[in-house]
Amino acid sequence: MWVKICGMTTPAAVAAALEAGADAIGFVFAASVRRVTPQAANELATAARGRVPCVAVIRQATQQEFDRILADVPCSGTGTLARNPEIKWTLKLEDLSDLQSRQVAILQSALAQLAVGGRLVYSTCSLETEENEAVVEANCLGAANCKVVNIKPELEQLRRADELCLEDIASLAAGPYLRTIPGVHPCDGFFAAMIERK
């Protein structure tokens, strides 16, 4: 069973995911209670009804454990500056601190719902260390119940299966993490960490 945790789940986003072929049993978890009203939760469920065996919008933590979790957290978006240049004028230094505290809390909550042996992908479209490595390390460094999985062997496996077309896989790995850089890679800047529950 999978779950996607994000800060901006909308009926349109669910519909787009379903159109893209999301056919697994799973849950859409909206991480911000303020953003998901009962009406919006109903719209999300309606968008997926009949297309996914089980989709729920959860406004608070659940006791259920999941084998796979995607924590696509709200972030500064600095990896998308080429497409969103207004970020450089609207982003303030104190925003990073606020975002980081929310990201740490979301990741902590998501890890609590990860089944033993399960894997979680923490991702942002940010280039900032405060939103990426620092968040993962705040939750995993010294933790006995989780470990960061080295992303490079996973990327090599995708390459062998012809699921990844980029030749220079090493350029995607920054330590155990995945990092894309605009101008170096043919996409926006992204960060991802894979975490496994022990």
At 32-49, the pLDDT tens digits run: 444 455 566 556 556 655
Instruction: Single out the residue of 153, 159, 160, 156 nearest to residue 176, CA to CA.
Output: 153
Residue 30: pLDDT band (50, 70, 90) is: very low
CATH architecture of the region 2-151+181-197: 3-Layer(aba) Sandwich (3.40)
- Residue 160 CB burial class (10 angstroms; 0-12, 13-18, ≥19): exposed
At 159-194, the pLDDT tens digits run: 899 988 888 889 999 999 999 999 999 899 999 999
Active site residue 6: no
Q: What is the pLDDT of residue 130?
A: 96
Give domain limits for the chain.
2-151+181-197
Q: Which of 125, 146, 165, 187 is catalytic?
A: 125
Residue with more model confidence, 197 or 48: 197
